Amino acid sequence: MAERRVVGDDGQMYIPASRRPDGTYRKERRVKEGYIPQEEVAAYESKGAKYTREVAELPPAGMAPAASASATAGMSKAQRKNEKRKQKRKAEKDCDETVESVTKSLAAASVSAAPPATDAASAGARSASVKSDVDKPALEKRLKALRKRLRQIDDLLKKRDGGVKLEKEQLEKVECREDVLDEIFAVEEKLK
């Protein structure tokens, strides 16, 4: 509320007497030139607060356009959260519909039979070369596991030869040493 100022007979500035909302009277006040009443003084705002207020008006980089930001501006935290969930469900539904349409189109498509191979060896060689490129990391991982298992079996054999009595599971593991060796050779052949 802007207060009127008057200049008195003595040349001083005065805010004239007035009536308060509760009915009491406020007496006349003398003020210096340039005085601004406390109610009219703007609250102090630090540089950081000004910066964050200005930045808050701009959308963050990479975010949706201002139209969607203004749509959620009047919402409470819970409402914004529910709106996000709603959009996520809608996106998932759209994705599911896309998957269903692709599945239906695949079911409708017919697959022609592959031409017969001239001999089984050439077909096996072709599939092995394709598999070796695709499965090379998996085969290397399998080979590493098999070699580890072979080391464990050899350690158990050394223990048994040293006079230690092996348990049932350990004996079963020792018995399958030949199978592990055969599988190691087979994997090594596939990797070549």
User: Domain limits at 135?
Assistant: 129-191
Residue 5 forms part of a structural domain:
no
Residue 144 forms part of a structural domain:
yes
pLDDT tens-digit series, residues 21-51: 899 998 988 888 777 777 778 888 899 888 8
Domains contained in the chain, number = 1
d(CA 41, CA 31): 15
The per-residue b/e assignment along 161-175, b for 16 or more CB within 10 angstroms, e otherwise, is eeeeeeeeebeebbe
Residue 133 forms part of a structural domain:
yes
Query: pTM of the prediction?
Result: 0.33
Beta strands in the chain (DSSP E): 6-7, 13-15, 18-19, 25-26, 29-31
Residue 15 forms part of a structural domain:
no
Residue 123 forms part of a structural domain:
no
Residue 14 forms part of a structural domain:
no
Residue 163 forms part of a structural domain:
yes
pLDDT tens-digit series, residues 104-113: 666 666 555 5
Lowest mean pLDDT among 27-31, 68-72, 78-82, 154-158: 68-72
Residue 75 forms part of a structural domain:
no
pLDDT tens-digit series, residues 113-155: 555 555 555 555 555 555 545 578 888 898 999 999 999 999 9
